Structure 1
């Protein structure tokens, strides 16, 4: 085995048993920080490079090609992505910090009822609903810690971001149609200097790599601080291909490829997999063994299933005067009135309306993929006079929506590519259509001359696929993210979400990771890990 790799921090020998963390995003980066602060050695294996703020490209397509996970993937199912973007089901990052380096910054909490979706929504035909094995009360103290770590605006005395024009249009419309719960946050971008990060410069381009570092990411906060402890060995450009276990069935190592394709083995006391809801099940499926023939930790058959991406859609409204939605923060406002428990609207679950701005190139690519002609060019011609919002809500988990290993397509290493299969549930469609109607009404109330509904983009919120459950037969991991089947194997990302709720997931992933890391550290202290 060669030692070719990009390494940061304090080297840990390959034969030394450490906590091995696969991925460095919201979950993996947080677990690394929390454990190293407690003196527990960690090896963090990240498939992408370590991009620094000065490396980021402030150009839409250049940034996309610099940061996005572009490894081979395939799609199937009836959703629009299969037609529009067959090799790009998800718009996520392959770099240290993961998709926290490419996120809106929205940090709403889950509501209490969203942890008990099966209880509150009842039987939804075709959905595989299940109550979480934890409650809001269990997670509340970790939500507080996560909000303070991220620096969420509107929380714990933190000031709000200033209102840009896109938000002012949204707020004025919200007021006119009777909404009550709207504000410029909570967001994880500083309105004033906080925790060593500067205030936002309202640059309009920190969605894909924030040069100013005003927006929180694990690449800015958790990973550098973990490295400073002397307990973290970060290996970038290190692609994990298998998790192994010993004769007793306990996770004991990972195998990974360096940037030149050389294979390495890293011994482990504990393995925390945080590769996002597509790569995590892919890795565990590739880690099948004689005692786990259907994939590591898959006795329930639920591994890779119940894939959720949130019910999404966007609405862009044209006005007869300039809005210049691109000025200020990309996402700078949330309307929360529709994120409530109210099945009388014709669907279970709720949704948020959040300001959104795309640049001209991305608007052209995503507004109506494949379209042409005057109706399409009118959207681009009206760019300066356009306001935009994103509708994001709870989609239904379905067993048939799943991540599997493609039998034919291979990635650059010759490994089976992920196939992402997704069909909208009728509940998802009903919610999206309701959101479109309410968005039209909101914009019309403030004088919009027309609106355009976009189909969902490639997924940025990827959830489920290794869900928490109280009973092993219902899911993949327990209440702290540890495999029901494989001691010492934890899942530390959005894969563990039993249901998706309406809220943007990053805050909850961070809170769950904090809770998991505390649990791991406590068990180390007791000597039972």
Structure 2
């Protein structure tokens, strides 16, 4: 696909930083509307030929391996971003999750707010995102294939009284669509989808944007600073190109979609005399309210072979615990999902469960074919103390301070984990599990959210209801950093829906010459 080239001095372009779920989608949506876009991606540009069913190799090829301090994160540095690694779970947020502060009340130690938008407003964009992503059970796509691990979960769930169980809602083709084949149940979803059945912006949004002639992708380009003029309007970016040369790209507007850690880092490092605490940080919320999801993993040794490695890594979910019910001992809700693992990744998962070493770990591996796996994904309340900050002295090769990731579970999250572990144990034991292990602790940050959250009032966040930085009219945030609260669902579908909506807003403002 021919890559359009724009001049560095062309100040009519929109610069989009990052090519994942937010940046890749926004780029394509703008390009389709005739808006010229330069997308700067820090990672390399792979093709499907570069994807191998090898977790260790693929982490080297596409993982974000730059140094970070503090709590661990697990996202990608490649064209397509973390849409190359995600499992494909694509559920909408529930209505009450847009009104967390109103629904849950004051939750001590948290910085809960309501979203400045609601489910009704986002529903048409959810529908467009589901169509774009070929979500199973929508737009003529059949339900996803119910593999053996899902069947174990579903059977156990029914035995303990759960009724809201589905194997729909996956952004992995369940039938041929959009020029891509259906899932072949290979099972290496976290290594990238070798056949392209799983939705990723690498082979959907990016080539479609290129086909318009309004889009330029610059891979291997790490943005170091967002620039602005004395009036406080963004004028462009400074970046290091693939050869390490420092370049300046002029811009009409800038959208930052670098995944929460890098988004917060870039906006903080772009501080100036006019914005001494970083761009968009007059409220003091930039980099704060960092959220993941409440997660815990469970493995059970079943009486017969499950072979959970054969099949999409996470197909389907249980919704019975999604509602808010304070009598359970915590606010918010969670999904229960099947989860599978190749033997290599299972070792890393095992570090967080009650069988990390010795005879217990050996027993788990010896029973690999008999393992069934579950996990929960639950709402993670925002806390000001959970934050992305710049290191005071240590810098990377470009002179940018390395990020420090500060994250601790709230007591509400710990209570949710305990409840989830009990329920997963009940599910697996109901269908004959002979041995059970479950995880504890915070886990790694893969669903990174918050740090530049939407807020109705500027004092409560960083961006408005369109993802525009409150005090900078032509600077936008376009990834999970926008999330006011985390809800329980995988964030990707919502990131895509918000990006579609944001593209409409940017285009309308450009038409009115407000940008």
Q: Does the aligned pair in 2 maintain the 1:72–1:412 contact within 8 Å? A: no
Mapping 1:222-233, distance limit 5 Å: 222-233=205-216
C-alpha distance in 2, partners of 1:413/1:382? 47
Q: Of 103, 126, 131, which residue of structure 1 is paired with 2:114?
A: 131
Q: Of 5, 19, 28, which residue of structure 2 is paired with 1:11?
A: 5
Per mean C-alpha deviation after superposition, the further-off stretch among 122-131 and 312-321 is 312-321
CA-CA distance at 1:233 after TM superposition: 0.8
Per mean C-alpha deviation after superposition, the further-off stretch among 453-462 and 11-20 is 453-462
C-alpha deviations, 1:223-276, integer Å up to 9, x for none? 000001111010000000000111211011000001232110000000000001
Per mean C-alpha deviation after superposition, the further-off stretch among 9-18 and 413-422 is 413-422
List structure 1 segments (4+ residues) > 6 angstroms apart after TM superposition: none
Q: Of 270, 279, 300, which residue of structure 2 is paired with 1:296?
A: 279
- Shift of the 414–247 alpha-carbon distance from structure 1 to 2, 3 Å rule, reads closer
CA-CA distance at 1:460 after TM superposition: 1.1
Q: Does the aligned pair in 1 maintain the 2:188–2:342 contact within 8 Å? A: no
Aligned match of 2:249: 266
- Paired residue secondary structure (2:251): strand
- Paired residue secondary structure (1:470): coil
Aligned match of 1:462: 448
C-alpha deviations, 1:410-450, integer Å up to 9, x for none? 33433211100011100000001100000000000000001
C-alpha distance in 1, partners of 2:391/2:438? 32
- Paired residue secondary structure (1:216): coil
CA-CA distance at 1:13 after TM superposition: 0.2
Mapping 1:66-465, distance limit 5 Å: 66-75=61-70, 82=71, 89-368=72-351, 371-455=356-440, 456-465=442-451
C-alpha distance in 2, partners of 1:282/1:521? 27
Per mean C-alpha deviation after superposition, the further-off stretch among 397-406 and 362-371 is 362-371
- Paired residue secondary structure (1:477): coil
C-alpha distance in 1, partners of 2:137/2:446? 24
Report the number of matched residues.
511
C-alpha distance in 2, partners of 1:43/1:228? 14
CA-CA distance at 1:206 after TM superposition: 2.6
C-alpha deviations, 1:29-86, integer Å up to 9, x for none? 01100000000000000000011111012111111111110101000xxxxxx4xxxx
CA-CA distance at 1:304 after TM superposition: 0.2
Structure 2 residue runs of 5 or longer lacking an equivalent are none
- Paired residue secondary structure (2:283): coil
C-alpha distance in 2, partners of 1:356/1:94? 24
Q: Does the aligned pair in 2 maintain the 1:306–1:401 contact within 8 Å? A: yes
C-alpha distance in 1, partners of 2:349/2:103? 35
C-alpha distance in 2, partners of 1:321/1:141? 44
C-alpha distance in 1, partners of 2:309/2:363? 18
- Paired residue secondary structure (1:362): helix
CA-CA distance at 1:341 after TM superposition: 2.0
Q: Does 1:528 align with 2:511?
A: no
C-alpha distance in 2, partners of 1:110/1:101? 22
What TM-score does the superposition give when structure 2 sets the normalisation length? Answer: 0.98
- Paired residue secondary structure (1:380): helix
Q: Does the aligned pair in 2 maintain the 1:322–1:384 contact within 8 Å? A: yes
CA-CA distance at 1:521 after TM superposition: 0.5
What TM-score does the superposition give when structure 1 sets the normalisation length? Answer: 0.95
Structure 1 residue runs of 5 or longer lacking an equivalent are 1-6, 76-81, 83-88
Aligned match of 1:35: 30
Q: Does the aligned pair in 2 maintain the 1:8–1:235 contact within 8 Å? A: no
Mapping 1:483-522, distance limit 5 Å: 483-522=469-508
CA-CA distance at 1:8 after TM superposition: 6.4
Question: What is the RMSD computed on CA atoms of the aligned residues?
Answer: 1.2
Q: Does the aligned pair in 2 maintain the 1:74–1:409 contact within 8 Å? A: no
C-alpha distance in 2, partners of 1:157/1:106? 18
Q: Does the aligned pair in 1 maintain the 2:451–2:481 contact within 8 Å? A: yes
- Paired residue secondary structure (1:9): coil
